[in-house]
Structure 1
């Protein structure tokens, strides 16, 4: 599989995206369950289906661009076709001296986002949950471990490392709209419906005083590249006591909603966002 990824990594991005769009629509046609989940999540967000319809093809484009993003030579820049906005927010955040928490949703090219941020502001520590298939877990680790970017597993040791990173006035990166294992999240509204939500970003912010910056990485049309936007910091978290976890997670969810509504055609609407959390393994835990 790695050899296939290396082969595809040499293809033009516009070709990969064209093939990916076809893949996305093929999955849509073949999976009634996926269509139901997609439509239900779009309706829950209060959107017309037409606003989110491009997300069918974008889901396939996400898969198709992985070889190019994962197989890029470690020292090769990923910023050549990336337009960036909001860098002033990052400079102000680091000036506070308590670290920076970048977070975002499964929207656009969320695999490219951490790589670009690491090149701009590394070193960055990103947390991830290794795939269950050994070959894919090896590929993920190989692809995501890059100069300026350290990936750590979603375990107690990984979480401790993130706290140490913030204490050194460095940055961490998380995807906060996934359903964590039982015990690692809280139930808060997401588009008006209770969703089991990762609490790690809020815990890190409340306990460290780090600045929390939403990030989106929009995929541009016709393979023209990407638009990396660093949104204003979540100032509402600064006034919350360390014990106010639920309000902090709610603030983060509202920021995720704002990103999704700004680019509804790029969100992974087929993800089962409102499902029950799975039981965690013995080596997993919350801080």
Structure 2
């Protein structure tokens, strides 16, 4: 059964599934068909190196590599330009190109920052955040045991955002493991360092999320990924039709959870990150899935407009169209 079909079934009928065990092992002993042991060690070494380099230096390097992405023809640059042209039609061609180049630089910076999120002890990761706005409301809702749904779009550094926003809160995120077992072990260890519980992207995982909300815990969702056929509806996003997941909408209709949306904005001159959290658009609680999905996208769009150059525009968000036409 496909993931989205499982989700729809489970919203109506809970599965008696237990929570998956999290391991913090980072041993690269297992062979992988997609990434050699040597390749994994190189990647791990790179992450460890970038974890100790100053943010300002990483962003300087990211600016240079991002410039190369902008001038050398490649798929990421083409998708970025297409998305920006569609979502910001009021900008001139020069302004769209400037935003695209800034976005490509941000894309590289995000990759270079992952050492700070994945390798440093949790205290070091949390220390990357130097400014906070709006988080108190989320913390109060979590403390009251109301159940919280946190929308974390691919904006700024979503890894650092997740760790900071969920600090001290019982939290659960869906997790689809990579094919490489060594990288899977690394990422599980990364999540475990902050106490975040992982739920598989299947029927069992949805049951875990439902149970977490009923216990008044936090459930984290990445709201801007294109779902499978049964798991989404079309809704407006920056004036374009975007196939949007209904999982969040269905979760929001179970009990009385509070829904928030936020991100970690990259600050200039390597001064760290500013965590920004907003209460999501009230339309999310609408029982009509289309209206709820539109509210989710409005919540994401509100965040993106605060730092459009830091959004993941290289992702093919509009690859599914209502008339099956080719957007890209």
Contact in 2 for aligned 1:51/1:265 (Cα 8 Å) = yes
Higher Cα radius of gyration: 2
Per-residue CA deviations over 1:32-60 (Å, capped at 9, x if unaligned) read 43332111111211253134542121110
Write out aligned runs for 1:243-262 (5 A): 244-262=288-306
Give a deviation string over 1:158-204, Cα, whole Å, max 9, x none: 22111111111111111111112332222222222222212211111
Q: Tell me, which stretches of 5 or more residues in structure 2 are unaligned?
A: 1-42, 322-328
TM-score (norm 2): 0.76
Runs of 4 or more, structure 1, over 4 Å off, are: 74-77
CA-CA distance at 1:154 after TM superposition? 1.7
2:115 corresponds to 1:67: yes
Which deviates more, 30-39 or 214-223?
30-39
Query: For 1:142, what is the secondary structure of its paired residue?
Result: helix
Q: CA deviation at 1:145?
A: 2.2
Residue ranges of structure 1 left out of the alignment (5+ in a row): 278-287
Q: 1:220 aligns with which of 267, 278, 297?
A: 267
Distance 1:130 1:230 in 2: 27
Give 3-state SS (helix, strand or coil) of 1:98's partner. Answer: coil
Q: Does 1:137 align with 2:184?
A: yes
**Secondary structure in structure 2 of the residue aligned to 1:141:** helix
Change (3 A) 1:51 1:43: same
Shift of 1:226: 0.3
- Paired residue for 2:164, among 106, 116, 119? 116
1:280 equivalent in structure 2: none
Tell me the TM-score normalised to structure 1 length: 0.86
1: CA distance, partners of 2:154 / 2:101: 16
| Cα 1:8/1:33, change in 2 over 3 Å | closer
Whole-angstrom distance in 1 between the partners of 2:44 and 2:75: 30
- Find the partner of 2:86 among 36, 44, 59: 44
Residues 157/220 of structure 1: CA separation in 2 closer, same or farther (3 Å cut): same
Aligned partner of 1:107 among 131, 151, 155: 155
RMSD: 2.2
Asked whether 1:10 is paired with 2:52, we answer: yes
Change (3 A) 1:79 1:202: farther
CA contact (8 A) 1:75 1:147 kept: no
